[in-house]
Amino acid sequence: MKLNNILCSFLLLCILNFVFHTVVNADTPGAQFLMISPGARASGLGESFVSIADDFTVMYWNPAGMSFVERPEVGLANTSWVADITNTHIAFVKPLKRGGLGVAITSQQVEVIGYDTSGVRMAEEPTEEDASIGASASFLLGPKFSIGGTLKYVSVEIHELKAESATMDLGLMAKLGSRERFFLGGSFSNLSGSLEYDDAAGSSDDLPVCIRLGAGYKFLSDKNLTFAMALESFPGDDNAGGVRFGAEYWYKNFIALRLGAKSNSNDNTMGGSCFGFGLRYKGIGFDYAALSTGVNEDGMDSIQKINLSYAFGKAEKKEKPKKEPKKEKSKKEEPVKVKKPERKSGKINIAVADFAGKNVSQADASIVADFLRTDLVNTGVYTVIEKANMDKVLAEAAFQQTGCTTSECAVQIGKILNVKQMVVGSLSKLMDTYYITVNLVEVQTGKILASYDQEAMTAKQLKTACKTLAGKLANE
């Protein structure tokens, strides 16, 4: 999916946001329990979850995210809301090769303080029982772009008065960049339907339409530090919505710490700071979050949330749409299997000069050169001059080899060492990628016989990259 198509999609979301603000009834909607967000992880991130939704609560935040969930997961989320309201969310999500499927059930029971027409408190307290059941599906439109939707049944029962409705959610999500560090997401919740009560007057309430737009970015080499932000709007409720921010850090994929903040459109409602943590062990997950509402009233000042989840099975290997053949460069990480050529003259005498370091220390560059010497010996094709002997001979000749990358320099060193071929090269680093470049030089003629380069994403992969380069040189 091209970037301009993604940008156009988000432009459409912004236009629809404006339309909803313009046309939706401004009265407070019914089924307020649908505005209580599930998930301690999402809440610990300040509810800035629409662009990175990837756990069992994904159907609530953005159903498109099911395409990027790695393993099947089932979970239970419990929210201790203000005024002794308890909200429970149970969900199961199953990733597929080209998308995902999921089901979710949300329930809530509230004791309502009732008064008769004389203002006397009723002996039998009425209760409100709310529930929603939803089935979701998502589809990959490209390797990094997904859309999703949910069909929901919603019911509200207050004492003997009952209302029902059907509604739908829509979402889209994109992962951008070569290592999929940047996330974009948008979702619409409760887009259609209204609660029709079974009273004599035939009264009804609109459902709480919600629009979310967000972005996130994963930092560090292991992508274990995430920052996210989101804009949330409830066009039918002036007391809800606003800006959300959050950060999450995972230590060894075992424990997570989360911080978040909510700045709401109405300063008197549910805005404030968020804190949370998570634990993971063999697929079992536990999450906790505490939210400060900013309301200084008993029973209204804080919200507690907990999650229990279990991810099982193997990660689903996504079936990506057919694309143009990749360039040969994409195969560099696969080590080359060396077939030792038969040489009439036996092994070739060769030496490897210390690599030049570019944006890395000279010590690191020298270590990588040592890796290559060892791997050249293991090919069985070359007789490699030991580093200590090479340094001793060059010192006696008062020759400084550090930073030798040209064929002229290789010829000079090769003649001093009395070898047939020389390897000169460099180790450089650009952003989070290492690059090893080597030239094989014939000492007698000064001709460059071969030139190769190899990439490595981490320091640990540098050894594998040197083994690949040694195999290529041995086949010359």
Q: Parse the chain into domains and list their residue ranges.
A: 3-311, 328-474
Q: Which pLDDT does position 403 carry in this prediction?
A: 64
Q: What is the mean pLDDT of the chain?
A: 82
pLDDT band at 339 (very low <50, low <70, confident <90, very high): very low
244: nearest Cα among 86, 44, 62? 44
What pLDDT band is residue 229 in, cutting at 50, 70 and 90?
very high
Please report the pLDDT score of residue 268 as a whole number: 43
Q: Which among 186, 146, 145 is positioned nearest to 20, based on CA atoms?
A: 186
Comparison of pLDDT for 330 and 397, the residue scoring more: 397
Helix 461-474, helix 362-378: angle, nearest 10:
50
At residue 1, the 3 state secondary structure works out as: coil
Among the CATH numbers 3.40.50.10070, 3.30.70.260, 3.40.50.1400, 3.10.20.30, which is that of 328-474? 3.40.50.10070
**pLDDT at residue 179 in the model:** 81
Distances in Å between the Cα of 22 and the Cα atoms of 16, 29, 50, 372 are 10, 16, 23, 67
Looking up tokens 């008769």, which residue turns up? Answer: 116
d(CA 185, CA 210): 14
pLDDT (0 to 100) of residue 15: 47
Does residue 17 or residue 444 have the better pLDDT? Answer: 444
Quick one: 3-311 is in which CATH superfamily?
Outer membrane protein transport protein (OMPP1/FadL/TodX) (2.40.160.60)
CA distance 136 to 93: 9
Higher pLDDT, 28 or 129: 129
**Whole-angstrom Cα distance, residue 191 to residue 165?**
12
398 confidence band (pLDDT: 50, 70, 90)? confident
Lowest mean pLDDT among 6-10, 228-232, 450-454: 6-10
Which residue, among 307, 276, 278, 299, has the nearest Cα to 289 in the 3D structure?
276
Give backbone dihedrals phi and psi of 84, rounded to 5 degrees, phi first: 60, 30
More confident residue, 188 or 203: 188
In angstroms, rounded to a whole number, what is the distance separating the alpha carbons of residues 143 and 326?
A: 14
Q: Which of 1-15, 391-405, 414-428 has the highest mean pLDDT?
A: 414-428
Structure confidence by residue, pLDDT tens digits, 144-195: 899 999 999 999 988 778 999 999 999 999 999 878 899 999 999 998 888 8
Quick one: average pLDDT of 43-64?
95
* pLDDT > 60? residue 324: no
**Rounded to whole angstroms, how far apart are CA atoms 105 and 304?**
20
Q: Residue 344 — pLDDT band, cuts 50, 70, 90?
A: very low
pLDDT at position 338, please? 45
Range of lowest pLDDT (277-286, 329-338, 378-387) = 329-338
- Span between the terminal Cα atoms of the chain, in Å: 41
Can you tell me whether residue 70 is helix, strand or coil? coil
Residues 82-100 have pLDDT tens digits of 667 888 999 999 999 899 9
Predicted pLDDT of residue 297: 57
Would you call 86 helix, strand, or coil by DSSP?
Answer: strand
Query: Which amino acid would we find at residue 33?
Result: F
Residue 115, pLDDT > 90, answer no
Percentage of residues of the chain with pLDDT beyond 70? 79
pLDDT at 23 exceeding the cut of 50? no
Q: What pLDDT is attached to residue 12?
A: 53
More confidently predicted of 215 and 110: 215
Q: Is residue 372 within 8 Å of residue 351, measured between CB atoms?
A: no
More confident residue, 438 or 15: 438
Do residues 39 and 60 lie in contact, with contact meaning Cβ atoms separated by under 8 Å? yes
Nearest-angstrom CA–CA distance, 207 and 241: 15
Q: How confident is the model at residue 252 (pLDDT cuts 50, 70, 90)?
A: confident
